[in-house]
Amino acid sequence: MSEAYFIFELTTRCNLDCIYCYNVWKQTETYQQKDLTLAEVKTIYTNINKDVSIKGITLAGGEPLLNKEIFQIASFLKSKGVKTAITSNGLLLNDENIKQLIDCGVDHFEVSLPSIENNTYDKLCCSKELKPVRAAILNIRKYNVKLTVSAVITKYNIEEVYNIIELSVVFGADYFSFNRFVPGGKGLTNGEILGLNKQQLMQALGEANRAAKVFNIPVVVAIPVEHCLCDTKTFRNLNFGTCVCGDYKWVVDPFGNLRTCEQNPAIIGNLLETEFNTLSQKDIVSQFRESNYNTDCASQTCFANCGGGCRYCR
């Protein structure tokens, strides 16, 4: 039985309105507002678990804490022995919620911190509430769980890369996730003002590389960077990898729809009605898997690591 890792988007709702947000419902009106219910999670789990060994599930959103059944959902996954993580903007991660989530089996927290400056945070997330996010990071660190701080790197915060990682380290992060901006969701309309050109990407990776070395923190470049876009070997302290979307990693939206990745709005089918095996073998999936490289790529030595890069971008 093959293994797979899933992102469960628990709700379309969010208490922020980030201008770089990649959530697919921000780009298409076909998505209504909805929360994934516990009953639906149980059905989806059954339909997936028949066909693959679930390596882990990340509870995401929107803001997953806006789903009122989040604790019951986490408890259910815990009862099934599923390793569960949560990715949040941190605003609702107060001490009580953190503790309750940990009690319900969540053992890895990812908090988004795109800036440590109030002004930049406001520009990017349309919120002046940076303080609770920082407090959330510090509060999570009180517990023996894994903590990743992530940031979408855009033109607005490119100068802050080193400082964000520095603060993450002293606040106790175990990992830092470097996500270069990819135009998706709301970000599609803001691509011009946020997107990094090659030189800026190199600059941002350089700063992240320097921080990873100085602070001895694993920095994961979560959105794959193609070798032909920049020589990843230059950044020896960063962790590069290839795209695993639609292969090892899958996304389930609040309606139970299966998608290949967070950014990709294409719906494969509904897991409340159809089993995972049937959906994952559809043509749309194989087309997506093959979409990120051309015939030249396969002959290159770098292909083993690059694998063609981000399938959504390509």
Partner 1 sequence: MENTYKYILIAAAFMIAFLLYFFGIRKLSSANLKNKGFFMTTLLIALASIGCNFTSSGNNESNTNKMDNIFGKDDSKRIIELNKTKEWKEFKTFWKNLDNIEPTKGAENNEFTPYIYAENEDYDKKNKIVVSLREKNEELKNSLSELVRKNLLDPLEPIILFDMCKARIDYIYYGNVSMMTRMMPMPGVYEKEKTIKMLEFKIDTLLKLERKGKIDTTELKLALSNIQLEVKKFGVLEILGKGKMLQYYYRSSNLDNENPQKDTLTVFDKSILDFENAYNEFMKTYDASKADKQQKDMYDKYVLVKKELDTFMSIYPEFCELIKDLIVNV
Question: Which positions lie near partner 1, rule CB under 8 A?
Answer: 116, 134-135, 138-139, 141-142, 166-167, 169-172, 212-219, 236-237, 239
CB of 159 to partner 1, least distance (A): 15
CB of 172 to partner 1, least distance (A): 5
CB of 93 to partner 1, least distance (A): 14
Query: Please, which residue, 117 or 275, has the CB nearer to partner 1?
Result: 117
Q: Which of 200, 280, 173, 261 lies closest to 269 in space, CA to CA?
A: 280
User: Among positive and negative, which fits the CA dihedral 39, 42, 44, 50?
Assistant: negative
CB of 135 to partner 1, least distance (A): 7
What's phi and psi for 189, nearest 5 deg? Answer: -85, -10
Query: Please, which residue, 203 or 237, has the CB nearer to partner 1?
Result: 237
CB of 273 to partner 1, least distance (A): 35
Query: Please, which residue, 126 or 138, has the CB nearer to partner 1?
Result: 138
CB of 161 to partner 1, least distance (A): 15
CB of 224 to partner 1, least distance (A): 16
> At 151, is the secondary structure helix, strand, or coil?
strand
Bridge partners of residue 4, in order along the sequence: 54
> At 154, is the secondary structure helix, strand, or coil?
coil
Rg, the chain, Cα only = 19
> What is the rounded CA–CA span in Å between residue 297 and residue 309?
10
Are 269 and 279 in contact by the 8 Å Cβ rule? The answer is yes
Helix (H) or strand (E) holding 78: helix 70-79
CA atoms within 13 A on the CB side of 170: 8
Angle at 149 between CA 67 and CA 91, to 5 degrees: 40
The neighbour count for residue 189, using CB atoms within 10 Å, is 13
CB of 141 to partner 1, least distance (A): 4
Bridge partners of residue 239, in order along the sequence: 220
Query: Please, which residue, 240 or 276, has the CB nearer to partner 1?
Result: 240
Residues in the chain: 314
The neighbour count for residue 249, using CB atoms within 10 Å, is 18
Query: Please, which residue, 71 or 171, has the CB nearer to partner 1?
Result: 171
Angstrom distances, CA of residue 81 to CA of 27, 169, 249: 35, 30, 18
Query: Please, which residue, 12 or 150, has the CB nearer to partner 1?
Result: 150
Query: Please, which residue, 54 or 271, has the CB nearer to partner 1?
Result: 54
Query: Please, which residue, 195 or 218, has the CB nearer to partner 1?
Result: 218
Query: Please, which residue, 151 or 258, has the CB nearer to partner 1?
Result: 151
CB of 284 to partner 1, least distance (A): 31
Inter-helix orientation angle 161-170/198-215, to 10°: 30
